[in-house]
Structures are given as C-alpha cells and as structure tokens.
Structure 1
Amino acid sequence: MTYDFNAVIDRRNTGASKWDAVGKRFGSEDVIPLWVADMDFSSPQCVIDAIVKRAEHGVYGYAVQQDAYFEAIVKWFKTRHNWQIERDWIAPAPGVVPALSVIVQAFTEPQDGVLIQPPVYHPFKKVISVWDRKVIENPLVERNGRYEIDFADLEIKAAQAKVMFLCSPHNPVGRVWTPEELQRVGEICLRHGVLVISDEIHADLIFRGHRHTPFASLSPQFAEHSLTCAAPSKTFNLAGLTTAYVIAPNPALKKRYEAMLNKASMGELNIFGIEAMIAAYEGGAEWLDALLEYLEGNLEYLKGFVAEHLPQIRVIEPEGTYLVWLDCTKLNLSVKELDRFFVHKAGLALNEGHLFGREGEGFQRVNIACPRQLLVKGMEQLKAAVEELEGARR
C-alpha cells in the first residue's frame, strides 16, 4: 500500500495548538509552524475507521480497559521492541507529562531531588519544581555533533536524587541510547537507590542503523526499579486522544502510582483514544514503516540544504524522533535576538532552544514531521533571512 505524506492538510481553524496558537505563542500569525511535537500527517486509515465506527455507536459514556486494550499493547512491545510485558503491568495515564506529575507526587517528598539530563524536554523541569522538588541536572555532553552521557557526573548527581527522568529516545537531541549506555545508567541508579522513570514516548520513531531498547527490558532488577511511560501518540499522531499508559513490572510501584493517580482523579480513559490505539497497534505497522522512510527523506533534505546554503547553522543529526536540534550559535545573536530572528525575519515558529535548559541557548528545535514542500518553504525562508542578516553586517 502507498501512503501520501506529501498531501498538505489545512489545519488552521481546527483548534490545533500547533497552528491556531502561533499568534498568541509567537506574536505573529505569518509563520510556518514547525514547533510542537505533533505531525501534519493524517493518522493511518485503520485509526480513522475505528474512530468513525465508535462514533457511529452514538453513546460515549465512561470507558474501561478491555482485553483488546491490553493485548494490543503487549503485542506491540513484543513485535516492535522484543520486550515481553504482562497485562498486569499496564496502568492508564492521561498523558506522559501528567503521569510524570503523578509520579513525582507518589514517589518523592518536597525537596527530594529528581535527576534530568539537559538540554531536555522542558516539562520535565516544570513538573519537578511545581511540586517543590529539587531539580538535579546531569547535563549531556556534545562531542563531534553527538550528545553523550557524562557518567562521572551522573554518579555524583545520583547520590543527590530519589528519582531520575530518563528521556529515551532523547528529546531534543535525538539520541537513541545504546544498551550499553542504558546499562550504565541503570547500574548507577541501582547503586544509589534512584527510581528510573523512562519516558519512551518516541520509542517507535527510530531511524535506520539504530534500535530502541526499553530500559526495563535489560534486566529484572531494572524492571523492578523503574516505570516506563509510553503512548502511541507521537507514533500515529494521536496526541489529542489521551492514549498514554505506564508500564510497571513491580506490583508495589504500580499500586503506589495508581493510588496517586486516583487521588488526583486522573485515571479516566478516552473512549476514542482506546479505539485509536488498538487500531494503530493492530494495523498501523506498515504505515509506520512508510512514515519513517518519509521522515528520513525529510532529514536528508534538511541536512543537505543546511550544508549547502546555511554554513552558519549546524544540524545535530537525530538517531530517532522527528525533532531536529539546530545549532545556531554561529549566527552570533543573543538568546532574544535569535528567537525574534526566526519568527520575524525567517517566518518560522520553532521551539526555542533555551526552553530546554541553559545548554540549549543558541539552539532551535525544528519538527520535520510535515509534507516536504512545507519544510522546503521553511528552509528557503531561513536561507533568505540569513542572507539578509549577513548582508546587513557587511
């Protein structure tokens, strides 16, 4: 079957955050939105059909997890990631970020330390600090265009933490951690009694030459001392349907998580999200393979265009996710100037690098999950803006 990822779908005036919030978020409506991490592609037809069928039923009451829900998740992890999980390990979540908020409340006390690895997905820091926990940073180190974990620093920081948020694959730098790297993380955390919370929401979006390894799959000890947050939302463009879940092999940890989830009244499921997830996991694998091929084409285009026309910008090549980290430090603009330049000169709405931590200053994150013509237009606008900037400096 062929899939048309080149089709441009008009998302304006549909209540889409990515498109309809740009004026308020960036101060301009005249931008191409390549920021928030959802895709400008239609979900697989099997998902659309499942939602339509459920909608035609006409009654949209409270939902429960039925056998098909658990079976779809279990089968997906076995076939896609070679991890045999059990249905009893699966607990609902309204989203990965809300799950992290529940986890912080369930497993830490005020002023306890929670480890993150900046530059990292910015809600991590927010859900730690908003509950009066201490943010402990183990910054990643960039070597020759590839980010790595500073294990010596992690050993020191783990002694100060109770929980670690592991972003795997990593957003925004695009690393797909190797089994060896994850093994070292796990050993350090076990030594210091740190509970690992592995955010694996981008786990299915892996480029050729790399393979995602679920952290908890590496050893029974890691499984017993971790929770995995996952969802089909990034994979199949279901972010608005509340499809996340938590995998907790340790019954005591699962019980503690679910108790706090219920205390916060956040355990309800979305009936359309359930149907969408089951359909995607059961029938969406071929679509996903085609999507990955298209995303690799977008990435190759981006890398080639930047190399040829934008020597002032450096692409940090992702191993996974559809998010690309751009080093713009050679434009020699301040943090605020860089943000204004992209919006008001290049006409692009990207995620500002400084949101991901101090290490992100001078960077921007671009979402390449869009029809190629949109990406081409965006890069042409960026090229013209950089030429104008450089011309004004001469």
Structure 2
Amino acid sequence: MTFNEVVDRRNTRSVKWDLTEQLFKDKEILPMWVADMDFQTPKPVIDALVDRASHGIFGYTVTDEAIHSIIKEWLSKRHDWEIQTDWLTYSPGVVPSLHTIVEALTEPGDSILIQTPVYPPFYDVIKKHDRSIVTSSLYLQEGRYEIDFEDFEEKIQNVKAFILCNPHNPVGRVWTKEELQRMADLCTKHDVLIFSDEIHADLIYAGHKHVPMASLSDKVANRTTTCLSPTKTFNIAGLQASYIVTPESEMKKKIDAQFGLQGINMLNTMGVTAIESSYAHGEEWLDELVEVLDSNKELLMKRMHEETDHIQIIEPEGTYLVWMDCRGLGLSHNELKEFMRTKAKVGLNDGASFGKEGEGFMRINIATPPQTLNEGIDRIVEAANNHRGNGSN
C-alpha cells in the first residue's frame, strides 16, 4: 500500500465515513473531520495482528516487560526522554486517562487551566467531575499562535492543575523548550500539577521538535503526568491502547487506584499486539508518513493562498489537523457551519467546539491521499469564491 492509494472505508463502521450522512444530513458530504487517517496501518502491524488472530484464542492479556521496554526505547529514541518502566500505566485511551487523572489528583471544586481554543474533551474532563474551568486564550500573531504569558501567570496562581496540549490541537503549535520551561516554572512557582496530553508527539514537521514536558527536569517531572499513545501515530485508534507516564510514585499510585475503582486493569489483546509491533517495526513507515503529511500541508496552504482570498491557513508545526481561518467569508459562525455543509459539502470540525476563540474557524484533517485532499480543497475554494466573488490572489 502506498500513501496515494484511496482505501474505501465505507461500511466498516467507520465514525469518520459511516456516520457522516447522519451527522451532516447530506450523503454527498466529503468527511475531513474526526482525527484518524485514511491510510492503512503499517504492514508489520497488520501482519502482527493477523498472526495473533490466527492463534484463535483471545484470553486476558498482560502488558509485560517486553511491552514496557519497547515504549521506553521509543521515547528515548524519538524524543530523547529516558523513562523508567515502573512509571507506566496502561489505559484504553488518552481521554479516559485524562478523566481518571482529574479524578485521582484533584478534588471537586478545584480549578483547572486549559489553553483555548483546545480539544473539546478537555472541557468535559473538567466539568463532568465538578471541577471549574479556567481558560487562558492563545493569541494569533502573524499567522502563528502564541501564549499570553501575562494572562497565563495571572490564571495559574488560582488553579490546582493545568492540562497542556502539546502538540496543540487544533492550532498545530509544537511548543518550544523555552515556552515549556516558562510554563513549567510558573506551575512550579504556584504548586500546580501538569497533566500533559502528548498524543500527537510523533507527528512533527521538519524544523520543529517535540519536547515532553516531563523531560525538562526532575522537578518538572515530579508534578507532571503524561498521556501518550501509538494510536494517532500509526492509525490504530480503534484498537484502544494508550499509556500514562507518571514519574512521581504517589501520583502514580493514586492514578492506578482510580483505574482500579473503574475496574480497568488491562488492555485488549489486539491493542497490546499493536503497541509492540508499531513501535518495533513502524519507524520507517512513520518517517514516510510525516513526509506525506508535510506535502499535503504544503498543498493545502499553496492552493488556498493562490486560489482564494477568503480563507487563511494556520500552518501547523505538528499533527495532521489544520486550523483554517474562515473569517474572511464574512459569515457568522452558524452561517459558516452551514456554508461548509451545504455549499462546500465538506465535513469539517466546528471551530466553536474548541472554545469561543474558535468562532470563524474550522478544522480540517489532511491525513488522506492527495486526490481526496484536492477534492476537498476544490469544493471549499469554489464555494468560497462563489460566495465572495472570485477574489483569488
């Protein structure tokens, strides 16, 4: 399989493809929303899953020292982060992990800071456990989102914890070591815990480097718990396997105990197989994938810049999710959603679902073969120019 091959995902119970008509009320919608890829998983992973399936028995399955070690090696090689295997806790996914961490390490009534616009489940993992949301808005400057450190410091003084998104979904920033250190110093100064969602850590474009927050120093590590997974990296989200890295032993005990209260103490058989095979044999595929995503990113930016004046692309530094500034269309946000659905006929993520700062924006998924991406761009450009007049550059 090449990254140019279009694989028909319909009738596979795909959330992205099979729920599109139900969600967008139109069977002609091209889905470019939910965060999985239209590329087949690396062949060594498929082979490992087929081999495991051929055994024919799917009993309770452990995450043993071999799995621990392969995660340790991956984080060392890809991210220069040396962890201990006894820091690991396994979970079905990063969102369940965040729910559990919030329950384990904070109390009802505590305040938790997030940097908005941000991944919508961050709001839920705070609100649903009777914690209070405190927001610090990122600001857009010359096509790049920045942290308002004055606001961040003011807000961080009055919270119990901070949920970091790095790389940031949806704005695509890969926070620099200097930015991370500055945030970490403020969290240390005000005794704030850090819950770091780093699920997109492996999907980084040339010129940028992912730095795990907990890798900065022992002092930072001892207040940080990090959520990671190969599922975004290798397109195996449906296998539901992730892990948490918690260096501080008392924090880890509380997290493990909270999982115990939910009856969660192991992964599914195929998830375990996928973690091992993807990290052991997927690196070459991943390097090629990042080149493909980079090419798709450049294609999107070039075509939008050349073919319409009405939509600006916020260039991502990581992830395959791209933030589009659609304010030039002159529509209210509800009108924008309807415009993309009924005029462009493209299924995108609603920018306002990421916070009020996302009004006038939409999120597009570019992890798809270039011919599919081009079709999506064709639809958006044509609709935009018909709406505002053909004001291309």
Which TM-score bucket, shorter chain as reference? over 0.9
Alpha-carbon distance between aligned partners in 2 of 1:360 and 1:369, rounded to the nearest angstrom: 21
Partner of 1:103: 101
Q: Structure 1 residues 59-68 or 226-235, which shifts more?
A: 59-68
Partner of 1:278: 276
Q: Does 1:333 align with 2:331?
A: yes
Alpha-carbon distance between aligned partners in 1 of 2:84 and 2:276, rounded to the nearest angstrom: 16
> Which residue of 37, 44, 47 maps to 1:46?
44
Alpha-carbon distance between aligned partners in 2 of 1:178 and 1:56, rounded to the nearest angstrom: 45
Alpha-carbon distance between aligned partners in 2 of 1:127 and 1:215, rounded to the nearest angstrom: 20
Partner deviation per Cα, 1:250-289 (whole Å, 9 max, x = no partner) = 1111110000011012333011011111111011100000
Q: Secondary structure at the match of 1:324?
A: strand
Once the two structures are TM-superposed, the CA of residue 390 in structure 1 deviates from its matched residue by 2.2
Which amino acid in structure 2 is aligned with residue 320 of structure 1?
G
Q: Secondary structure at the match of 2:163?
A: strand
- Contact 2:174-2:318 within 8 A present in 1 as well: yes
Alpha-carbon distance between aligned partners in 2 of 1:199 and 1:392, rounded to the nearest angstrom: 41
- Contact 1:5-1:41 within 8 A present in 2 as well: yes
Once the two structures are TM-superposed, the CA of residue 392 in structure 1 deviates from its matched residue by 11
> Which residue of 115, 118, 123 maps to 2:116?
118
Q: Does 1:185 align with 2:189?
A: no
Once the two structures are TM-superposed, the CA of residue 7 in structure 1 deviates from its matched residue by 0.4
Partner of 2:309: 311
TM-score computed with the length of structure 2 as normaliser: 0.98
Q: Structure 1 residues 264-273 or 81-90, which shifts more?
A: 264-273
> Which residue of 287, 294, 297 maps to 2:295?
297
Q: Secondary structure at the match of 1:354?
A: helix
Q: Secondary structure at the match of 1:136?
A: strand
- Contact 2:170-2:322 within 8 A present in 1 as well: yes
Which amino acid in structure 1 is aligned with residue 73 of structure 2?
K
- Residue pairs, 1:55-204, within 5 angstroms: 55-204=53-202
Which amino acid in structure 2 is aligned with residue 336 of structure 1?
N
Partner deviation per Cα, 1:42-65 (whole Å, 9 max, x = no partner) = 000010011001101111111111
Partner deviation per Cα, 1:197-230 (whole Å, 9 max, x = no partner) = 1100000000000000000001000111100000
TM-score computed with the length of structure 1 as normaliser: 0.98
Alpha-carbon distance between aligned partners in 2 of 1:311 and 1:371, rounded to the nearest angstrom: 25
Which amino acid in structure 2 is aligned with residue 28 of structure 1?
D
Q: 5+ residue gaps in structure 1?
A: none
Q: Secondary structure at the match of 1:138?
A: strand
Partner of 2:219: 221
Query: Root-mean-square deviation (CA), in Å?
Result: 1.2
Alpha-carbon distance between aligned partners in 1 of 2:209 and 2:110, rounded to the nearest angstrom: 33
Once the two structures are TM-superposed, the CA of residue 28 in structure 1 deviates from its matched residue by 1.7
- Contact 2:308-2:390 within 8 A present in 1 as well: no
Which amino acid in structure 2 is aligned with residue 367 of structure 1?
N
Once the two structures are TM-superposed, the CA of residue 104 in structure 1 deviates from its matched residue by 1.1
Q: Secondary structure at the match of 1:117?
A: strand
Once the two structures are TM-superposed, the CA of residue 373 in structure 1 deviates from its matched residue by 0.2
Alpha-carbon distance between aligned partners in 2 of 1:200 and 1:311, rounded to the nearest angstrom: 34
Q: 5+ residue gaps in structure 2?
A: none
- Contact 2:63-2:266 within 8 A present in 1 as well: no
Once the two structures are TM-superposed, the CA of residue 391 in structure 1 deviates from its matched residue by 4.5
- Residue identity (%): 49
- Contact 1:94-1:267 within 8 A present in 2 as well: no
How many corresponding residue pairs?
391
- Contact 1:142-1:148 within 8 A present in 2 as well: yes
Which amino acid in structure 1 is aligned with residue 220 of structure 2?
F
Once the two structures are TM-superposed, the CA of residue 388 in structure 1 deviates from its matched residue by 2.1
Alpha-carbon distance between aligned partners in 2 of 1:12 and 1:376, rounded to the nearest angstrom: 20
- Contact 1:63-1:270 within 8 A present in 2 as well: yes
Structure 1 runs of 4+ aligned residues shifted over 3 Å read none
Partner deviation per Cα, 1:351-373 (whole Å, 9 max, x = no partner) = 01000000000000000000000
Q: Secondary structure at the match of 2:137?
A: coil
Which amino acid in structure 2 is aligned with residue 360 of structure 1?
G
- Contact 2:100-2:258 within 8 A present in 1 as well: yes
Q: Secondary structure at the match of 1:290?
A: helix
Partner of 1:373: 371
Alpha-carbon distance between aligned partners in 1 of 2:367 and 2:390, rounded to the nearest angstrom: 33
Q: Secondary structure at the match of 2:186?
A: helix
- Contact 1:114-1:163 within 8 A present in 2 as well: yes
Partner deviation per Cα, 1:127-152 (whole Å, 9 max, x = no partner) = 11111110010111111111111111
